[in-house]
Amino acid sequence: MADDKKLHIVMLPWFAFGHMIPFLELSKLIAQKGHRVSFVSTPKNIDRLPAQLPPHLSPFLSFIKIPMPQLHNFPPDAEATIDLPYDKIPFLKEAFDALKQPLSDFLRTSDADCILYDFFPYWIGQEIGPNLGIKTAFFSIFIPETLAFIGPMSPRDHRKKVEDFTVPPDWIPFPSTVALRHYEMKKIFDEAVAGKSTGISDLDRIKLGAHNSDFIVLKACPEFGQEWIQLVGDLHGKTVFPIGQLPTSEYDCGDDNQAWQSIKEWLDKQPVASVVYVAFGSEAKPSQDELTEIAFGLEKSELPFFWVLRTRAGLSDSNVTELPEGFEERTKGRGIVWNTWAPQLKILGHESVGGFLTHAGWSSSVEAIQSEKAMIFLPFLVDQGIIARILEEKKVGYCIPRNLLDGSFTRDSVEESLKLVMVEDEGKIYREKIKELKAIFVNKERDERLIDQFLSYLKSHRKVDKAL
C-alpha cells in the first residue's frame, strides 16, 4: 500500500554543534520509525558528530559530506562555530551560502520527500524546495519565545536601534517579559539586525526561513509554553509541529572512555551534590575580564568545581585568555580545569554534581533539566538571555546579576549566585523545581506521539502532491 511507503527526509543544520546535535537527535528518532534520513554537513563536522549509531539504525540514517567551499581569507580547517572566534563567524556564513549550488545538485537526485532546514539557509524554502518540488520545513532549534520575539515577515516590525529590542514587541498579545538586555543586543546587532557580512541579517534569515517553509517544526513541547507555540503559527500563518525537547541520548562516550574515567575518578571522591559544573558551550568564550571574575568567584565560593575552559576559539583566534595567576595552584584538589572535550551528559548525571554554571544555551539547559541539576546562568550570545530569564521565572535557575548596559558582573555576584543555588536554604526551590520540570521535558511516550503526528502529516501531504 502507498500508505506504507517510507519517507526520505533531508536534514540541513547550521554549522554549530548546538544546532547539529538536535538535528541529529531528531534524525535518530525518525530513523527508528523506519524512514530514511540524510544528514547533510561538511566532512569535518560529520566526523566530529557523536554518531556511533546502533546497528539497527545504520540502514536508515546516512551522513552526506559536502566539501566546505574554499573562500578567500577563510581560516583553514574551520567548518563550525567552535573553530572560530565570534568576529570571524561571518566567514562561515559566506561559506554556507556558497553551498547553495552543491546542495541543490545533491537534492535534485536525492528522491527526498522533505527538507528540514535550519535558520541560516532561508533559500531552501524560498528557491530550492519549490524548484525541485520537495516539501520544506523550517526546523527551529530556537525556543518558541525567541521566534515570536523575532517576529513575522511584516511591515509592523519597525525596530532599527538596539533600544528597540529591549522591550517586548507589540505583536505579543499577552503579558510578557521576553526581550533582550541592552548589552545582549548591542553585541549581536551588526549581524542580527544590520546583516553586515552577507547583506542579509540573521533576523531576516529566520523570518524568511519560517515564512517560505511549508510548515514549521519546533524543538518544544505543548506542556511548556503552548501559547508561544500557537503564536509562532499565527505570526507566520503556518502549521506548527512541536516535536519535544529532544533530550540528548547517551552519545558522550562509553564507560571505558579514558577521559571519562579520569573525570569520574575525581567526581567519585567529592560529596554528593557538592560540585559546580562550569561550561559555556561550543560558541561562547568569556572575555578576559569576564574570565577573571568567574575564576575569582569560583575561588571565593570555596565550592568544588569542574570547569571546561575554552581559552581559544579555534586556531585563528589570536585573543587567548588566561586564568588569574596562581588560580590553579590555590584551588588544587578542590577544582579541576579541563581544557579539552568533556562528556557533558555524563558529568551532569554524576551524583556529586549539584549545579551547573552555564551560558543558557537551550541544548545545555535541556541536558541540565534531564539530569535534574539546577542552573546558574551567565548568558553571552544570541537568545541565551531570553532563555535564562524564562527558566529563572520557572525557578529552575538563577541569573548572575549584571550591569544592564554593559553586561559586566563581579566575582562577588558569581560567588553569591553559586552559593544561593548550590547550598543555601533560600535556593532550595531551584534544586526542587528542576525535578518537576524534568517530568515535562523528558517524556518518551509524548515525544513519540508528537513525532508520529508530524510524520503522518508529512506522509499524507506527500501523497496528495504526488497524486496531482
The structural domains of the chain, ordered by start, are 2-247+443-467 (3.40.50.2000), 258-441 (3.40.50.2000)
Residues 321, 420: Cα–Cα separation, whole Å: 28
Distance of CA 233 to the CA centre of its chain: 21
Residues 212, 201: Cα–Cα separation, whole Å: 16
Residues 26, 11: Cα–Cα separation, whole Å: 9
Supply the mean pLDDT for the chain: 91
Cell 521565572 belongs to which residue? 393
Residues 47-93 pLDDT 10s: 998 757 788 888 999 999 999 988 877 787 899 999 988 888 888 99
Query: Could you count the other beta carbons within 10 Å of the beta carbon of residue 302?
Result: 12
Those residues with Cβ within 8 angstroms of residue 204's Cβ, 6 or more apart along the chain or in another chain: 122, 195
Residues 365-416 pLDDT 10s: 999 999 999 999 999 988 999 999 999 999 999 999 999 889 999 999 999 9
pLDDT classification of 320: cutoffs 50, 70, 90 = confident
Share of the chain above pLDDT 70, in %: 96
Counting Cβ atoms within 10 Å, is residue 264 exposed (0-12), middle (13-18) or buried (19+)? Answer: middle
| Residue 184 near residue 101, CB atoms below 8 Å | no
- Taking each helix axis from N to C end, the angle separating 411-422 and 428-441, rounded to the nearest 10 degrees, works out to 70
**Amino acid of residue 202:** D
| Residue 280 near residue 78, CB atoms below 8 Å | no
Q: Give the strand order in the sheet containing 61-65.
A: 61-65, 36-41, 8-12, 114-117, 135-140, 215-218, 240-242
What are the Cα distances from residue 219, in Å, to 109, 258, 421, 441, 447?
29, 33, 27, 11, 11
The runs of H, that is alpha helices, within 49-120 are 89-97, 100-108
What are the Cα distances from residue 55, in Å, to 34, 58, 167?
13, 5, 50
Residues 323-336 pLDDT 10s: 999 999 999 999 99
What are the Cα distances from residue 185, in Å, to 105, 193, 264?
37, 9, 39
